[in-house]
Amino acid sequence: MEIKVANGVNKKILETLGEDGCGLAVGLKSEKWIILTGYLRCDLSDLNIRKKITRWMPEGVDVLASYSATKKECIQDTTCPVHISIENNDLSATMWQDGRIFDTTMCVISDDEAKSLLDENTCLLHVTGNVKVNIPQINGELDTSNVGEVLKSSAFLIKEKNLILSESSNAILTWMEFVSKNKNNKIQTKSSSKLLHVEIMKSTLNKGDCFVPIVSVRPVATKVYHLPIKVDALCYIRKDDTLDRALESLQNTVQRQLWNACSAMNDQQPDNSKCGIPKPYYYQMQHYCHPVEIWYPGNKSDNELTDFRKDVLHKTFSLPHDRPIFRKANSIQFNPTNEVILKNTHEGLTPPKLTNGKVYTVHGTYSYHHYMQDRIDDNGWGCAYRSLQTIVSWFKQQGYTDQPIPSHREIQQTLVDVGDKTKDFVGTRKWIGSIEVNNVLNQLLGVTSKIMFVSQGAELVSRGRELAMHFQNQGTPIMIGGGVLAHTILGVCFSETTGQTHFLILDPHYTGGEDIQVIQSKGWCGWKGPNFWNPTAYYNLCLPQRPALF
């Protein structure tokens, strides 16, 4: 069997083993291959750790490998068949199969190749629906032993295809053949959708409720909880799976989500009756090829969950402690509302070709704020306000704040509050610059900024290395103001060899609609050379710094 490991996972495992650590790797498998797509640092002697880890993974992603400094800890388990150890500063793999252990080869592939392999061989499904669970509390804990009996006769609606998968579906077809049917019931060779949305339909077993499935568990109990669970789950299905297997995977997805909800409540003992219904959140980490699922209590704020994120999540996933990764605002939205404002408008742009040039760009997600949005005519005076809004959107979408995006008037009022402006400034069309942007960020978000002064635009190229270091270490958008114009810098392409620098610019002076093709093709978001700047004008740059929090 061929074992492939994503490069990011390979690096993290090497890093952990270099510190005499150990852990488990997760991934997907078929009869021909195993692909390792994620890693967790943990104690292999903890017999319950695999159950905890499984709760964090989508259906279809399993614990497939253990890793430690030596081969002696190889787990002889067919469900975790691979053990990885370090040999001559490189990873080697042994495999447990048919009652024996043998050496096997392991191929390291890029993260992009790993994601492409998943796309080629699997479909990612987002499963939603409402399920009522009546479940007892026995000996102080919710008893989940019979949760697996729910939904055995449920059907599932694949929304994009308007197809229903149930026990009566044609079992001869594979999953890919089933979802590739066209209106004439003919099978197409290619399906364009990477993510399919699936809705749980009524369980035919539960005739007493015509709206949602119900599972009733009735052993002797001191108390019974009536839990309305809003299912929000992910599931990977192999494209060559039979429909019977696909249906089983979907049922397992919902069953596991119910079990996870009850287990999350048990984790909140002794006061699980007041914790609120737990809710799953999904996160896409840098070196993971798929999202992970984290459950939080329904009525606890991000601040109340700090210790859990620090001591459990950041430690287990080997993540830095200086930035938020598992705050609720960091989570993926699979069903976003009809947002008007575009996000990450630079994605898909071709970087400039500089000799030994390296690209450094903003980390994470931001929204593109520009002239004429929000029914405000700020054409000719609001460019710095819009750049500030883009920066605030970055901090909001990275989980540093839950503050709303400030309006022009709120920005002006903030400057009055900090003593930067007089009261008659509010409601005017007066410009602001990088110093004012710094003051507003500090007052509203508690964010400090570095101010870079450039006496003339021709000198900006000489600051390429400093800007590259900012994007590498901080990753925040930069507001730049010069003359009568303000822009947002999203990145640089910098050559250590020649000193050449090109700038990735987001232009707030755009007045058109939210059309990504127009925005990119007309250069409202694009790479600019040194000639973009006025060579004789002075410029001030506001470089926001990440707060050290998580």
Q: Catalytic amino acids?
A: 383, 507, 509
Tokens of 24: 């488990």
CA angle 379, 403, 287 (to 5 degrees): 100
Cα Rg of the chain, angstroms: 27
CB atoms closer than 10 angstroms to residue 193:
12
CA angle 406, 410, 415 (to 5 degrees): 115
Distance (Å, whole) CA 290 – CA 235: 11
Q: Is 298 helix (H, G, I), strand (E, B) or coil?
A: coil
Collect all residues with Cβ–Cβ distance below 8 Å to 468 and sequence separation of at least 6.
358, 360, 492, 494
Tell me phi and psi for residue 28, to 5 degrees.
-125, 155
- Can you tell me which residue has the tokens 């492409």? 116
Distance (Å, whole) CA 225 – CA 135: 5
Distance (Å, whole) CA 317 – CA 310: 10
Distance (Å, whole) CA 175 – CA 361: 39
- For residues 384 and 509, the answer to whether their CB atoms sit within 8 Å is no
Nearest to 289 by CA among 234, 247, 239: 234
Query: 134 pairs with which residues across the strands?
Result: 216, 226
Angle, to 10 degrees, between the axis of helix 383-397 and the axis of helix 408-417?
A: 90
Tokens of 194: 């990477």
Distance (Å, whole) CA 176 – CA 40: 31
Q: Which helix (H) or strand (E) holds 96?
A: strand 90-97
Distance (Å, whole) CA 11 – CA 109: 11
- Can you tell me which residue has the tokens 């329904």? 298
Q: Which helix (H) or strand (E) holds 417?
A: helix 408-417
Distance (Å, whole) CA 542 – CA 465: 16
Distance (Å, whole) CA 511 – CA 339: 18
Collect all residues with Cβ–Cβ distance below 8 Å to 479 and sequence separation of at least 6.
384, 387, 388, 391, 434, 437, 486, 487, 488, 489, 541, 542
CA angle 34, 39, 41 (to 5 degrees): 140
